[in-house]
Each structure stands twice: as structure tokens, then as C-alpha cells.
């Protein structure tokens, strides 16, 4: 039994839902009550099935799932957290869900402990350095309490202070190198000698933790304005991966969820100053452009993300130089880079809402809150969509009456617009651009630059293989069908295009995460769906890389099941389509029964408006069922041919 199954078997969904404050009334084999997720208090449209451990709202939400989905939705947490919560409640230990091996875990813990010790070391040096303390207090406006909360420190101006201190305490040099505290370099006096010395010297030290609060590394900022580079981070280590961490995340995650918005700034000290000013939903990348992985991390907590950019970063430079410049900038420390196209793609793929707020008067965020606390709030509230931001930045201070300028701006903005996945959005921006440049919109659509378009499925040519006797798939329960679909698609994600096309030709909707009743299949399918919409990474690798730890056990299981999958792709697509038909058919039938039941309930109460509402729904579902059955009939005919 899988861990999720075991948890489900131990938790009574009726108890769980009742405890969440939903009053349930038994009716036949099920329970009904008022939906906790929408406001209507007239119709008990919320149904719980104790046998299958599932629930569904037949009203406004029209959504359902298992205990995990219920807790995720109710408490606004992600799958992993819901899993942990319910595991605790069920008394189930989630061992198979650790990605790190025990040996690695111990090694990583050792590095983290060492870094925690380093915080104390650097902190003591800060407390003894009046000059740096003065800078932090006066120039940066940070209080002692803030310095303590964020664990700020100072690395002394010495080549061997860390080396001496920690080796004297019995730490091997290699550990200090592994933790990124020391650097090794070949000695200049030749004879192949290597010299080990302190990586951070005469710098303000800022501890960086992962989103769970575990120590990961340091960011270091110069004290002497002539030193280079201005910012220096720990080197990449197993626990410090720049592209994956966000500074301040461990403190910001709760506030981000509470206000349902995350703000990204460029500097660690800006994060600290904003937190001190009471804006705690602020994080910063590690001095590089924002990665998809970082956005994915934020997306667990909110889909509304605002980038607060310095004027020079947000400026024309980044847009004009295009992708290559941004890419090379990403490798340099201390450069943020603003890659509009990359951000737009991630926004679409992750279904996030990305906006840009540019800082006025050449000020940094920390200077703005210092100047006027309210001003920050306003800047963030008036943040603009990326395309609008690019348009306005390009037009700022230029003579847009000049046809040459018009052309230049249009040729830079149009490819971004054409790249957007949905038509109404493209239309809106085209109009906006036309208004800005004071040109006819039709002139713009004629001047379109061809850019690679998102969501244009890449057609993968299939080699035809001789058909071998495959393992017969017996589809028994709904859960098994879902498992089968996800297992096959995980093995061959590219089949999703063909499946969707097949469904489409029969008037059926593309397969979507909502088709799945079980949370883990929903999540896995969501990743497969994302995978086929990008073309940077092999589809399956993309899924494996983005898997939350909690699903890695399940995905291995599924991949093992399909190892010997050797049927023709055409056959597989057909089987998949029958699977989809099956789960949709079941879902529709289930819903029809429930609606009829609810309809009777409403009739008894004389609520004719609700009765009509349910009747319409039943009609719609009956029609859907007919389309599904028709599809099934055609598919069977095809098999006979
Ligand atoms: Zn509802």
C-alpha cells in the first residue's frame, strides 16, 4: 500500500470534513452539507462519499477530490504540507518520501551545523566592529533587533581568521572548503602548491536559509566601496544552489500566503529593510535573474508576484540586448537581469500573475521605505503587467511621434505580444501598443515579427514498431484507470498531443488535471502537461526534475510498471482515450445521480429556482454523456475495421 493510501485508509473523511466545521447530514450512502468553499447557504450542494473517501461540490465550485485535496483547499497549503499534516493525524510515518539518502542527509546536516557556527563567528566580529555597525545603523537604518533577527555578521579583513578559528576547534580543512567558507587556489610561487584561505574578507555577512529555515550559505556585501565584486555568495554546494533559493523565503512564506502576494527585490539588504518596515512578503534571488524554479517555489504560496526593479535593471538595456545578454548576465554575480520573454513564458506556464513595479527617482527599495513607508505600498499596488511595463519603459523619454522610434518600439514589443498564449490577451496588448504609438492597430498586426510561439505543440514523429504482445490492461476501478493514464503518459508524455487531438476531433475537451479525482494523479498529470509545453528539457526529465519529493516514490512505481510497455503508440493512444472516456463517463453519471438527488431535495422545499438550475446541469451532463458514448461507439468501430 502506498503512503497516501495508508493515510486515506486511516482517516475518516466524514470526521475530517465535520471537524472543519461542515455540518453533514446522512442521506443514503452519502453525506450532504453546505459547501465550505462558496457562499451560497441555501442549497446543500456539498457531498461526501465515505466509501471512496471523496467529496464534491455540485454548486458554484464544481470541484471535488480526496482528503488531501480537501485539506489543501481548506487551509490553502500545498500537497506536501497536506500530506505531512494528514500523516501526522493518521500516525503514518512518511519515510519513502525523502529524497536525500541517510548518508547524504548526515553530511548535509554536518555542513549546515558548520554554517550555523560560522554565523556566530561572524556575528561576534560584527559586534566588535564599530565602523561596520555604524554603517548598518546609520546608512542602512537597520536596528539591533533586525540585525539579530537576520543574523547579520562581519567577516574580518584577514586571509586566515576563519581557517585558524575553525581548525583550532577541530574542524578539518576539507569540511570548511565543502561548506564554502574557504577557497583553494594554486599558489603563485609555483611548485604545484595549493593555498587555502578565507573566502570572505572584510565583508558584511548575510546568512541565507532555504524555505524551511535550514542554513544554506552566505551572501556577502562589500564594506569598502572600492572592493570587487560588490556582492559575493557562497559557491555552489549541495546545499547552496543559487537558482533554487530565494533570500528571506523562510520568513516570508507565511506573510506571502496571508496577503496572497510575493514581492521580489534585488538585494538582500532591501529584503531586510522591507521586513523591518513591516512588509514581510518580500524575497530576493541570489543576485541572478529569476529562475523558473524560484518562481515555482513562490507559486506554492501565491500566484501573484511583483518584481520591484531598480530603474537601471528594468531599463531598455535588458530588453534591447535580448536573451543572450541576459543569459550571460546570469552567470555574473550581482547582476539581476530582466528577461521579459523568459518571464512571460514562465508566467504562462506556471499560470502566475507577474507584474513589474519600477522604483522612482533612481532609489532602491530600502531608500523608498525610509523616505515614505506608504509609498512602497502604492508602488506595489500599481505594478504593471510585464508587456505594459516593457512598452512604457521603451517609450519613456523618447519622441514617439518619430516614425523610426515607433518602428523600433513596435519591433521589440510585438514579438513579446505574439508569444502570449491566449488570443484575447494578445488583442488587448496590441490595442494598448497602438494607442501608445498612436498608430492604427491593423498596421501593427501587419508588422508582426515571427517569434517562437508558446503552446504550439511540437509534433513528434513516431517510429512504428512491430506490435508485440503487451500486458493486457484490465481497467477495473476508477482509481486504476487514472493510474493507467498517468503511468502511460509519464512514460511517453508526447502521447498527450495525440490523445488531445483525438479527443478534440470527437468534440471532447482536452485531458486536464480536473479529470482526475485523486490528488497525486492530478499533480503528476499537471507536471506532464507542463512538460509537453516546454522544449528545453526532455519531457520525461522535466517531469522527474520538477517532481515534489512526495511524489517521487509514486512516479518510480509507475515508471517500473511501464518499463515493458511495447505496444504501438497508436494502440496506446486509443487505450488512453478509452480510459479518459471511462473516467469522464463515471464522473458524469455520478454527478447526474447527485443532481437528481439534490433536485428532489429542492423540490421538497419548494425552491423552484434551484430545481431549474439542477435540471439544466443534468441536461448538460446528459449531453456530455451522449458525446462520450458516441465517441466510444466510433472507437469500437475503428477497432473492428
Ligand atoms: Zn462549493
**Does residue 522 have a pLDDT over 90?**
no
* pLDDT, position 67: 92
* pLDDT, position 210: 92
**Does residue 558 have a pLDDT over 90?**
no
Q: How far is the CA of 6 from the centre of ligand 1 (A)?
A: 28
Instruction: Give the model confidence (pLDDT) of 473-499 as tens digits.
Output: 233 356 778 888 999 999 999 899 999
Q: How far is the CA of 618 from the centre of ligand 1 (A)?
A: 17
Q: How far is the CA of 35 from the centre of ligand 1 (A)?
A: 5
Instruction: Give the model confidence (pLDDT) of 43-78 as tens digits.
Output: 788 989 887 788 888 887 878 888 998 998 888 888
* Most confident among 241-245, 465-469, 548-552, 564-568 (mean pLDDT): 241-245
Q: Three cell numbers at 6?
A: 495508508
SS3 of 482, please?
helix
Q: How far is the CA of 565 from the centre of ligand 1 (A)?
A: 40
Please give the backbone phi and psi of residue 190, each rounded to the nearest 5 degrees, phi first: 60, -140
Instruction: Give the model confidence (pLDDT) of 220-257 as tens digits.
Output: 999 988 888 888 899 888 889 888 899 999 999 999 98
Q: pLDDT exceeding 90 applies to what percent of the chain?
A: 29
Within a 10 A sphere around the Cβ of 40, how many other Cβ atoms?
A: 14
Q: How far is the CA of 470 from the centre of ligand 1 (A)?
A: 43
Determine contact, residues 237/180, Cβ cutoff 8 Å.
Answer: yes
* pLDDT, position 312: 59
Q: How far is the CA of 36 from the centre of ligand 1 (A)?
A: 7
Q: How far is the CA of 39 from the centre of ligand 1 (A)?
A: 8
Q: Three cell numbers at 469?
A: 504482445
* pLDDT, position 219: 95
Side-chain-side CA neighbours of residue 487 (13 Å): 21
Strands 353-358 and 384-385: antiparallel
Q: How far is the CA of 80 from the centre of ligand 1 (A)?
A: 24
Instruction: Give the model confidence (pLDDT) of 426-470 as tens digits.
Output: 889 999 998 898 888 777 764 443 333 322 233 332 332 222 222
Q: How far is the CA of 66 from the centre of ligand 1 (A)?
A: 15
Using the 8-state DSSP alphabet, how is residue 40 labeled? -
* pLDDT, position 539: 84
Determine contact, residues 61/37, Cβ cutoff 8 Å.
Answer: yes
* pLDDT, position 587: 82
Q: How far is the CA of 429 from the centre of ligand 1 (A)?
A: 34
Burial label for 95, CB within 10 Å (0-12, 13-18, 19+), is exposed
Secondary element (H or E) of residue 384: strand 384-385
* pLDDT, position 138: 93
For residue 358, what are the β-bridge partners? 309
Q: How far is the CA of 112 from the centre of ligand 1 (A)?
A: 45
Q: How far is the CA of 301 from the centre of ligand 1 (A)?
A: 22
Q: How far is the CA of 502 from the centre of ligand 1 (A)?
A: 32
Q: How confident is the model at residue 176 (pLDDT cuts 50, 70, 90)?
A: very high
Burial label for 48, CB within 10 Å (0-12, 13-18, 19+), is buried
Determine contact, residues 419/454, Cβ cutoff 8 Å.
Answer: yes
Q: How far is the CA of 620 from the centre of ligand 1 (A)?
A: 19
Please give the backbone phi and psi of residue 465, each rounded to the nearest 5 degrees, phi first: -110, 150
Tell me, rounded to whole angstroms, the distance of Cα 245 from its chain centroid. 13
Amino acid at each position: 500500500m502506498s503512503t497516501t493510501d495508508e493515510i486515506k485508509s486511516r482517516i475518516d473523511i466524514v470526521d475530517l470534513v465535520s471537524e472543519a466545521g461542515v455540518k453533514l447530514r446522512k442521506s443514503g450512502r452519502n453525506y450532504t452539507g453546505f459547501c465550505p468553499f462558496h457562499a451560497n447557504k441555501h442549497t446543500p450542494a456539498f457531498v461526501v462519499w465515505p466509501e471512496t473517501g471523496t467529496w464534491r461540490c455540485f454548486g458554484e465550485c464544481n470541484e471535488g477530490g480526496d482528503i488531501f485535496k480537501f485539506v489543501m483547499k481548506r487551509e490553502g497549503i500545498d500537497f506536501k504540507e497536506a500530506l505531512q499534516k494528514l500523516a501526522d493525524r493518521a500516525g503514518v510515518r512518511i519515510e519513502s518520501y525523502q529524497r536525500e539518502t541517510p548518508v547524504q542527509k548526515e553530511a548535509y546536516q554536518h555542513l549546515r551545523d558548520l554554517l550555523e557556527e560560522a554565523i556566530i563567528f561572524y556575528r561576534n566580529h560584527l559586534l566588535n566592529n564599530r565602523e561596520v555597525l555604524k554603517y548598518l545603523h546609520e546608512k542602512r537604518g537597520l536596528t539591533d533587533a533586525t540585525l539579530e533577527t537576520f543574523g547579520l555578521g562581519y567577516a574580518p579583513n584577514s586571509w586566515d581568521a576563519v581557517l585558524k578559528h575553525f581548525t583550532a576547534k577541530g574542524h578539518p580543512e576539507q569540511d570548511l572548503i565543502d561548506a564554502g567558507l574557504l577557497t583553494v587556489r594554486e599558489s603563485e610561487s609555483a611548485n604545484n602548491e595549493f593555498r587555502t584561505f578565507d573566502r570572505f574578507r572584510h565583508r558584511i555577512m548575510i546568512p541565507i536559509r532555504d524555505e524551511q529555515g535550514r542554513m544554506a550559505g552566505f551572501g556577502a556585501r562589500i564594506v569598502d566601496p572600492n572592493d570587487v565584486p560588490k556582492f559575493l555568495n557562497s559557491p555552489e554546494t549541495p546545499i547552496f544552489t543559487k537558482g533554487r533559493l530565494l533570500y528571506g523565503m523562510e520568513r516570508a512564506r507565511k506573510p506571502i500566503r496571508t496577503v496572497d502576494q510575493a514581492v521580489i527585490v534585488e538585494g538582500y539588504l532591501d529584503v531586510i529593510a522591507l521586513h523591518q518596515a513591516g512588509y514581510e512578503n518580500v524575497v530576493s534571488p541570489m543576485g541572478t535573474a529569476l529562475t523558473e524554479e524560484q518562481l515555482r517555489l513562490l507559486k506554492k504560496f501565491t500566484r501573484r508576484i511583483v518584481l520591484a526593479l531598480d530603474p537601471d535593471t528594468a531599463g531598455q538595456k535588458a530588453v534591447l540586448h535580448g536573451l543572450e545578454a541576459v543569459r550571460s548576465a546570469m552567470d555574473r554575480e550581482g547582476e539581476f537581469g530582466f528577461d521579459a520573454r523568459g518571464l512571460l513564458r514562465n508566467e504562462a506556464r506556471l499560470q502566475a500573475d507577474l507584474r513589474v513595479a519600477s522604483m522612482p527617482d533612481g532609489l532602491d527599495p530600502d531608500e523608498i521605505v525610509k523616505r515614505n513607508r506608504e509609498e512602497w505600498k502604492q508602488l506595489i499596488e500599481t505594478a504593471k503587467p510585464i508587456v505594459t511595463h516593457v512598452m512604457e519603459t521603451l517609450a519613456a523619454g523618447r519622441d514617439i511621434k518619430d516614425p523610426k522610434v515607433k518602428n523600433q518600439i513596435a519591433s521589440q514589443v510585438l514579438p513579446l505580444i505574439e508569444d502570449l498564449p491566449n488570443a484575447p490577451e494578445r488583442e488587448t496588448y496590441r490595442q494598448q501598443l497602438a494607442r501608445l504609438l498612436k498608430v492604427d492597430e491593423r498596421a501593427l498586426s501587419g508588422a508582426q515579427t515571427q517569434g517562437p510561439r508558446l503552446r504550439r505543440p511540437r509534433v513528434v514523429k513516431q517510429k512504428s514498431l512491430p506490435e508485440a504482445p503487451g500486458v493486457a490492461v484490465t481497467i477495473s476501478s476508477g482509481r486504476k484507470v487514472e493510474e493507467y493514464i498517468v503511468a502511460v503518459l509519464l512514460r511517453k508524455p508526447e502521447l498527450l498531443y495525440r490523445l488531445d487531438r483525438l479527443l478534440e476531433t470527437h468534440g471532447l475537451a482536452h485531458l486536464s488535471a480536473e479529470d482526475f479525482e485523486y490528488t497525486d494523479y492530478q499533480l503528476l498529470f499537471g507536471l506532464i502537461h507542463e512538460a509537453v509545453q516546454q522544449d528545453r528539457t526532455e519531457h520525461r526529465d522535466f517531469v522527474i526534475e520538477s517532481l515534489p519529493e512526495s511524489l517521487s516514490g509514486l512516479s518510480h512505481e509507475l515508471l517500473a510498471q511501464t518499463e515493458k510497455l511495447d505496444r504501438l503508440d497508436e494502440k496506446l493512444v486509443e487505450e488512453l482515450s478509452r480510459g479518459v472516456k471511462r473516467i469522464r463517463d463515471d464522473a458524469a453519471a455520478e454527478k447526474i445521480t447527485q443532481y437528481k438527488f439534490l433536485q428532489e431535495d429542492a423540490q421538497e422545499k419548494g425552491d423552484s429556482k434551484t430545481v431549474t438550475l439542477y435540471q439544466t446541469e443534468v441536461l448538460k451532463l446528459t449531453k456530455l454523456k451522449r458525446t462520450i458514448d458516441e465517441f466510444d461507439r466510433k472507437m469500437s468501430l475503428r477497432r473492428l475495421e
